[in-house]
């Protein structure tokens, strides 16, 4: 139980720090560019603690599901007449937009007219709004660099960790009574032997070892190292119908994505699982795979939420690669550190939790770039649209247009916010009644 709680605490602190640094990514450039920032808050709801430093109030709120940096003048006035807004219409949507504009302008005090967000040049607004997601990307890259170069990637190496005593016809049968000895036993393999070559072909990893055994036929000659000496062992393999693999260890699939089966030699020697530190040059590829995998989840989020609902209110299993709430993430972290689903030392399990925090930051980076308010991507899209309009006007010699009226997108922002709340509620419910299983 203590280890379970440790995992939950580690992931909770990791999420809180990630949110706090995300908001720092907005705060610092906003202050550098002269925007007045009245509030920097981590969380939503009632304030648990706050302090004021200069013109900014820094605080922590009760609901740790996000955070915000409040900058004055986020929305430009629609039109001005003697310094006042034109009278709003009776349309409730228009009234909502005008009220938001008015609230934005009410924060502008005497002397703050040039410190509003909407007056920043386009490139500065892009820096301010992209600063939060880019901070999450930086956290993810730093953590993955640390994981890859210090701890390493788990892999199987061709050092024998176990020798099967028999070769039953049913590979799931662990009863050796009346069964013939395995090829590894007959060939003389021992725990600790390192396979150097198969039929004269050098091997360095378990993937190419498996591939070489697959293509060896009914008999294979192994060059192994034992206690510093090289030995040659010959094994008469047992042929079985199994999925065929590629030289990199991936399973061969057909046009429909199904595994291709074929006769594969069974040896009966198991590899050793180790963590191998990687060079820094491996980081971009791993981070790139994380980005594309996360983007794939975000782009298919509607269908995945349907799958979550079917699992929560039906009998289907949850997708282990699908979305989870903070409740689900905390549960997974607790199961990992407690050793309920994974072996290894506590230190190795904590590295896995660290990788989970890196994945969460990648998710925050990608999700916040979705071009919809109230997400950062909505403000980025507005700034880019304004930049394009101004560039086009300059090319055609037309008067440079004013700021893009992002307040008009507030109805969409409220709809998105309601959708996010609904999605969060569904995920929390699903993570309680039908959590993701890692077993």
Tokens linked to 308: 């979550």
pTM greater than 0.85 (yes/no): no
Tokens linked to 335: 């199961």
- Are 429 and 312 in contact, with CB atoms under 8 Å apart? yes
- Interatomic CA distance for residues 399 and 148, integer angstroms: 53
- Interatomic CA distance for residues 330 and 360, integer angstroms: 12
Coil vs helix vs strand at 306: helix
pLDDT of amino acid 413: 87
Q: How many CB atoms lie within 10 A of CB 249?
A: 15
- Are 203 and 212 in contact, with CB atoms under 8 Å apart? yes
- Are 198 and 222 in contact, with CB atoms under 8 Å apart? yes
pLDDT of amino acid 151: 92
Length of the chain: 439
The label of the residue with tokens 């560039």 reads 391
The label of the residue with tokens 């430009």 reads 76
- Interatomic CA distance for residues 117 and 124, integer angstroms: 9
Q: With a cut of 50, which residues of the chain have pLDDT below it? A: 81-88
Residue 77, phi then psi, degrees to nearest 5: -70, 145
Q: Write down the catalytic residue from 23, 98, 335, 386.
A: 23
pLDDT of amino acid 34: 95
Q: What angle (nearest 5°) sits at the alpha carbon of residue 366, between those of residues 361 and 369?
A: 125
- Interatomic CA distance for residues 157 and 173, integer angstroms: 25
Nearest to 131 by CA among 387, 380, 298: 380
- Are 324 and 332 in contact, with CB atoms under 8 Å apart? yes
Nearest to 297 by CA among 377, 371, 364: 364
- Interatomic CA distance for residues 109 and 113, integer angstroms: 7
Tokens linked to 303: 């269908």
Nearest to 291 by CA among 410, 411, 134: 134
| Strand ranges inside 267-399, DSSP E | 269-276
Query: How many angstroms separate the Cα of 49 from the Cα of each of 19, 33, 38, 60, 421?
Result: 16, 27, 16, 5, 24
Nearest to 74 by CA among 106, 104, 107: 104
What domains appear along the chain, each with residue ranges and CATH number?
Answer: 1-36+71-152+289-439 (no CATH), 154-276 (2.30.42.10)
Residue 45, phi then psi, degrees to nearest 5: 90, -155
- Interatomic CA distance for residues 109 and 275, integer angstroms: 58
- Interatomic CA distance for residues 405 and 30, integer angstroms: 20
DSSP letter assigned to residue 150: I
Half-sphere exposure of 276 (CA within 13 A, CB side): 10
Query: Alpha-carbon torsion 62, 65, 69, 70, what sign?
Result: negative
Burial-class residue 400 by CB neighbours within 10 Å (0-12, 13-18, 19+). Answer: exposed
Q: Please report, in angstroms and rounded to a whole number, the separation of the first and last CA atoms in the chain.
A: 18
> Catalytic residue at 276?
no
Half-sphere exposure of 326 (CA within 13 A, CB side): 17
């Amino acid at each position: 139980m203590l280890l379970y709680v440790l995992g939950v605490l580690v992931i909770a602190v990791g999420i809180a720090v990630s949110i706090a640094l995300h908001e720092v990514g907005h705060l610092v450039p906003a202050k550098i560019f002269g925007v007045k920032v009245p509030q920097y808050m981590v969380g939503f709801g009632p304030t648990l603690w706050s302090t004021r430093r200069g013109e900014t109030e820094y605080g922590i709120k009760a609901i740790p599901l996000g955070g915000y940096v409040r900058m004055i003048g986020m929305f430009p006035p629609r039109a001005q007449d003697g310094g006042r807004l034109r009278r709003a219409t009776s349309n409730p949507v228009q009234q909502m937009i005008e009220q938001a504009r008015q609230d934005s302008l009410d924060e502008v005090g005497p002397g703050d007219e040039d410190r509003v967000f909407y007056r920043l040049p386009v490139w500065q607004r892009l820096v301010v709004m992209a600063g939060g997601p880019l901070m999450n990307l930086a956290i993810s890259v730093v953590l993955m660099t640390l994981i890859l170069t210090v701890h390493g990637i788990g892999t199987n190496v061709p050092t024998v960790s176990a020798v099967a005593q028999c070769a039953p016809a049913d590979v799931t049968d662990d009863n050796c009574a009346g069964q013939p000895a395995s090829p590894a036993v007959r060939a003389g393999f021992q725990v600790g032997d390192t396979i150097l070559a198969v039929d004269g072909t050098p091997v360095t990893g378990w993937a190419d070892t498996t591939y070489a055994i697959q293509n060896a036929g009914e008999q294979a000659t192994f060059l192994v190292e034992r206690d510093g000496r090289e030995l040659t062992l010959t094994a008469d393999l047992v042929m079985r119908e199994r999925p065929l693999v590629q030289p990199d260890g991936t399973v061969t699939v057909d046009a429909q994505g199904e595994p291709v089966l074929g006769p594969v030699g069974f040896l009966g020697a198991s590899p050793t699982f180790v963590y191998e530190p990687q060079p820094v040059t491996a980081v971009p590829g791993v981070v790139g795979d994380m980005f594309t995998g996360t983007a794939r989840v975000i782009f298919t989020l509607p269908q995945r939420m349907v799958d979550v609902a079917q699992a929560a209110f039906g009998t289907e299993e949850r997708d282990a690669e699908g979305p989870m709430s903070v409740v689900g993430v905390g549960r997974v972290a607790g199961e990992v550190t407690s050793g309920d689903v994974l072996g290894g030392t506590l230190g190795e399990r904590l590295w896995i939790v660290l990788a989970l925090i890196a994945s969460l930051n990648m998710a925050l980076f990608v999700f916040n770039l979705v071009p919809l308010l109230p997400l950062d991507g909505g403000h980025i899209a507005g700034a880019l649209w304004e930049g394009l309009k101004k560039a086009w006007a300059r090319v055609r010699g037309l008067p440079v247009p004013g700021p893009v009226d992002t307040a008009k997108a507030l109805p969409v922002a409220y709809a998105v916010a309601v959708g996010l709340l609904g999605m969060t509620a569904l995920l929390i419910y699903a993570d309680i009644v039908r959590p993701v299983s890692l077993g």
